[in-house]
Amino acid sequence: MSDDTLSGWEVVVGLEVHCELRTETKLFCGCRNVFGDEPNTNVCPVCLGLPGSLPVLNKQAVEYAIRIGRALHCRVQPSMFHRKNYFYPDMPKDFQISQYDVPVNADGWLELPSGKRVGIVRAHMEEDTGKTTHVGGGGRIHGAAHSLVDYNRAGVPLVEIVSDPDMRSADEARDYVDELRAILVATGASDGKMEEGSLRVDCNVSIRPQGSTALGTRCEIKNMNSLRSLGRAIVYEASRQVEVLSSGGSVVQETRHWDEADGRTHAMRSKEEAFDYRYFPEPDLVSLAPSQEWVRAVEDALPVLPAERRRRVAEAAGVQAGSEPVATVVRLGLDALVMATVAAKADAALALRRLANEVAGQLAESGVHDIDPDAFVRLVRMEHDGELTSAQARTVLKDFVADGGDPKAIARQLGFEAMGSQELAGAVETVISANPKEWERFSCGDDKLVGFFVGKVKAATGGKADLRAATEMLRRRRGA
């Protein structure tokens, strides 16, 4: 977002994220929950809304919802289900079973890699809708001749996570979704695939004068199907609102549709009447009141979550938890390698640097071999101990990450083997004769000069010298 466009204004973003749960079956019936099955093969009287059918809540879906709630530091509370009434062909019952005033999870927070906390208002359970495909009119709803409906997705369990309007930029909103996705995947509750629609993001965007604490009128943006579109949509929408306000107009609270092709948001067709969902308690379901024991058991079984992993890596490598390299290695799941380095008492800070820069870059470009932690630690040691120069170490690392193997063998193949001791001794002698004054001082006990000589040896050998061996040789030579 260019500062010019927004100068004097602050953008305020809140997000609503729907995630599909990875259950075997739907929320209220035993139909399979599978993405990509043949249309209308996973349907039954319950999810088709046939008269007389009755919903029964899926226990595993509740457990996933509790996992999400506790991972987001929410209070898990007794809750109930409501009917949200509306007429639209994606919901054959003409209502969606959702949670209204008492959601299963409330009042939590999520910690961004930067360390900032974003408030979570609620994370409630509801059922997904069927999938409509618009035929004609280029797939857009306007101008479509007719639509086709597949009810396989109708009734698939969802958790909707509503944040506070705590984000202040498109980048922060993307960080939030990225972090939330990582948490969802870590808990096993969802696969977090935006491209398959198992993670769907709507955002509320408003702007206000820099320094103001009041919230401006917001617009809800829908239809972003990647993190990139989310960022673009927020940037566009914020500058659109700046333009409206700067020219003396006022922002109208409305839902706007993101158009990926033209890079704009468009007001959706104006409704004849504001939505009035006439929520009322779902009479066919009883309350959900997870016991403390259940909640505690679910919580105890949660894996270490990204924020804690970042804290551990940062502590191990002696850097700030909010630092970029830490966020990168945790996001890419490379933190176990840092921890392996710590466990082996090798240079964790060096490991972190190599992983966050070279390995992360390589990951972005191409696939990688599973990285063997022991071999990785050996390579870190080789660089730390001066067996390899940092340039050599990076070259070895690249091959090692791409194809696996033993770093020592790779170094040998690349001709990076530390030179033989004869050759090294020759180099040491040359350096000594070329610097007699420094040698004199070193010989008289000025030990700081060992670094000076090692540096000279390194330079003289084009970085091929085993610097630890060179150090030992220099000390022995002094004693002789």
Q: Rule CB under 8 A: which residues touch another protein?
A: 23-25, 29-32, 38-45, 48, 56-62, 78, 80, 85-90, 129, 132-135, 141, 144-151, 222, 255, 257, 268-269, 271, 273, 275-278, 281, 283, 285-290
Other Cβ atoms within 10 Å of 447 Cβ, number: 10
Half-sphere exposure of 104 (CA within 13 A, CB side): 27
| Burial (0-12, 13-18, 19+ Cβ within 10 Å), 214 | exposed
Q: Are 118 and 54 in contact (CB under 8 A)?
A: no
Q: Which is nearer to another protein, 30 or 455 (CB)?
A: 30
Q: DSSP character for 84?
A: E
H/E stretch holding 112: none
Residues 19, 21, 27, 47: which binds Zn ion (CB under 5 A)?
Answer: 47
In the list another protein, Zn ion, none, the entry touching 394 (Cβ below 5 to 8 angstroms by class) is none
Query: What six digits make up the tokens of 406?
Result: 């033993």
Q: Which residues lie across from 221 on neighbouring strands?
A: 203, 256
In the list Zn ion, another protein, none, the entry touching 149 (Cβ below 5 to 8 angstroms by class) is another protein
Site string for Zn ion, 84-103 (x = CB under 5 A): --------------------
Q: Which is nearer to another protein, 25 or 323 (CB)?
A: 25
Tell me the C-alpha distance between 151 and 132, whole Å. 9
Q: Are 405 and 362 in contact (CB under 8 A)?
A: no
Q: Which residues, including other chains, have CB under 8 Å from residue 352's CB and lie 6 or more apart?
A: 313, 317, 319, 325, 326, 329, 338
Q: Which is nearer to Zn ion, 282 or 387 (CB)?
A: 282
Q: Which residues, including other chains, have CB under 8 Å from residue 439's CB and lie 6 or more apart?
A: 432, 453
The reply to whether 31 sits near Zn ion by the rule CB under 5 A is yes
First vs last Cα of the chain: how many Å apart? Answer: 66
Other Cβ atoms within 10 Å of 275 Cβ, number: 10
In the list Zn ion, another protein, none, the entry touching 147 (Cβ below 5 to 8 angstroms by class) is another protein
In the list another protein, Zn ion, none, the entry touching 290 (Cβ below 5 to 8 angstroms by class) is another protein
Segment near Zn ion (CB under 5 A), from 25-33, 143-151, 327-335, 389-397? 25-33
Tell me the C-alpha distance between 464 and 389, whole Å. 7
- Closest distance to another protein from the beta carbon of 126 (Å): 13
Tell me the C-alpha distance between 30 and 194, whole Å. 25
Phi, psi for 237 (deg, rounded to 5): -65, -40
Segment near Zn ion (CB under 5 A), from 14-22, 23-31, 186-194, 334-342? 23-31
Q: Are 129 and 96 in contact (CB under 8 A)?
A: yes
Q: Which is nearer to another protein, 42 or 392 (CB)?
A: 42
In the list another protein, Zn ion, none, the entry touching 183 (Cβ below 5 to 8 angstroms by class) is none
Q: Which is nearer to Zn ion, 96 or 265 (CB)?
A: 96
- Closest distance to another protein from the beta carbon of 186 (Å): 20
Q: Which is nearer to Zn ion, 152 or 163 (CB)?
A: 152
Residues 44, 185, 363, 460: which binds Zn ion (CB under 5 A)?
Answer: 44
Tell me the C-alpha distance between 479 and 443, whole Å. 8
Q: Which is nearer to another protein, 1 or 268 (CB)?
A: 268
- Closest distance to another protein from the beta carbon of 401 (Å): 39
- Closest distance to another protein from the beta carbon of 21 (Å): 10
- Closest distance to Zn ion from the beta carbon of 4 (Å): 53
The reply to whether 34 sits near Zn ion by the rule CB under 5 A is no
- Closest distance to Zn ion from the beta carbon of 152 (Å): 9
In Å, how far are 257, 309, 392, 426 from 191, measured between CA atoms? 25, 20, 39, 60
Phi, psi for 336 (deg, rounded to 5): -60, -30
Residues 11, 17, 21, 29: which binds Zn ion (CB under 5 A)?
Answer: 29
Query: What six digits make up the tokens of 225?
Result: 């199907």
The reply to whether 156 sits near Zn ion by the rule CB under 5 A is no
Q: Which is nearer to Zn ion, 127 or 160 (CB)?
A: 127
- Closest distance to another protein from the beta carbon of 286 (Å): 4
Strand bridging mode 105-111 / 199-209: unpaired
The reply to whether 382 sits near Zn ion by the rule CB under 5 A is no
Q: Which is nearer to Zn ion, 29 or 65 (CB)?
A: 29
What is the DSSP track for 18-35? EEE---SB-SSSSSB--T
- Closest distance to another protein from the beta carbon of 254 (Å): 12
Q: Which is nearer to Zn ion, 28 or 64 (CB)?
A: 28
Applying CB under 5 A, the residues found at the interface with Zn ion are 29, 31, 44, 46-47
